[in-house]
Structure 1
Amino acid sequence: MAQQYDQISDRLAEFIAGQHVFFVGTAARDGRVNVSPKGLDSLRVLGPNRVVWLNGTGSGNETAAHLLDVNRMTLMFCSFERQPLVLRLYGTAAEIQPDQPEWGNLIGLFPTMLGARQIFDVTVDLVQTSCGYGVPLMEYVDERPLMRQWAEKKGPDGLAAYHRDKNTTSIDGFPTGLRA
């Protein structure tokens, strides 16, 4: 049975810190709903109602485009390795890009990520847990090195060009606000 809370407890923050993958869900008023998997040690719980996550270069930039239209976000965590649990964090988010002062205050929380594109600062207004009985039991092996290798091969100029070419509009044609 689902349980709802108004903040992230210490126990749930510990659960989040132990997850290797999480999922981000966003949607604009029109167009497609986006659900995206994230990993690479890119999320931090900063308080009972605040989470930040570092977003790397991707094939699209749907999250940013959706937030410009409707500022809401859901983060979902599933326990694949231990006792079953699904945790959802509902809230709103602010996008922070590398040219903003807040970037300098937050980027040090994360390991270096070549191609880091944004930090999303999430204000959580609802926390929900559910059983997770239907989530498969799986074993974590390791992070894939492919994103880092791809970014190294592109280099700074190649990443900037990729951002301009692939990350300034969503698949529905909405602007993402990315300053490439």
Structure 2
Amino acid sequence: MGKSFEALLPEHVAFIAKQHIFFVGSAPLSAEGHVNISPKGHDVLRILSANQVAYLDLTGSGNETSAHLAENGRITIMFMAIEGPPEIIRLYGKGHVVLSGSDEWEQLAPKFELLPGVRQIMVIDIHEVKSSCGFSVPFYTYEGERNTLQNWATKQGDEGLLAYWEKKNMTSMDGLPTPIGQKLSTENR
């Protein structure tokens, strides 16, 4: 049986710090819309307080979480032990997107190593932390990070990334606008 907490405890923070991957879940309000689950690697998550985390979002072929946060803010982040004792931690909250050029970006960006392909920062205000056993999660061995995205993004350069965002990241697969799409549309007017 899982346990529920109003905020991150020190043992949750220690567990999260050991994980090499986490998963982000979000969904649109529409019942016909797609629920999105996205894996995140690299050292991109920062715990800002017991009730707030942020992660550096890297360029991808979709931009679902961004669109969902802009529409309704609902988000869940899940961490699970693939090595060591079994455990799962879920962070339930409301999030928002932070784009480069904003005052909030200027405050948050120094907390991260800005990897090639950085697209935006997601900030999540946590209203519930839930732990559960993870007894059925199999063991895996961490071998290292993939540098494929970073190599691709470096090769694209700033102009190539911008063109990619304009082609692939303006709306969600359900047609919801993304904050980066709205920003790019405004700048191109």
Unaligned residue ranges in structure 2 (runs of 5+) = 185-189
Other-structure match for 2:19: 19
What count of residue pairs does the alignment treat as equivalent? Answer: 180
Letter in 1 for 2:11: R
Letter in 2 for 1:114: P
Letter in 2 for 1:159: L
User: Shift in Å at residue 177 of structure 1?
Assistant: 1.9
Give the whole-Å Cα distance in 2 for the aligned partners of 1:45 and 1:74. 15
Letter in 2 for 1:143: E
Q: Report 1:36-75 matches (<5 A).
A: 36-75=38-77
The C-alpha deviation readout for 1:44-74, integer Å capped at 9, x for no partner, is 1111101010001010000011112211100
Other-structure match for 1:102: 104
Secondary structure (helix, strand or coil) at the match of 1:148 reads helix
Secondary structure (helix, strand or coil) at the match of 1:17 reads helix
Is the helix fraction higher in 1 or 2?
A: 2
The C-alpha deviation readout for 1:79-125, integer Å capped at 9, x for no partner, is 00110001000000121000211111111111231121111111000
User: Shift in Å at residue 16 of structure 1?
Assistant: 0.7
Residue 83 of structure 1 is aligned with which of 85, 92, 95? 85
Give the whole-Å Cα distance in 2 for the aligned partners of 1:118 and 1:79. 27
Other-structure match for 2:2: 2
Secondary structure (helix, strand or coil) at the match of 1:175 reads coil
Length-normalised TM-score, structure 2: 0.93
Length-normalised TM-score, structure 1: 0.98
User: Given that residues 81 and 137 in structure 1 are in contact (C-alpha distance below 8 angstroms), is that contact kept between their aligned partners in structure 2?
Assistant: yes
Letter in 1 for 2:3: Q
Percent identical = 43
Moved over 6 A (4+): none
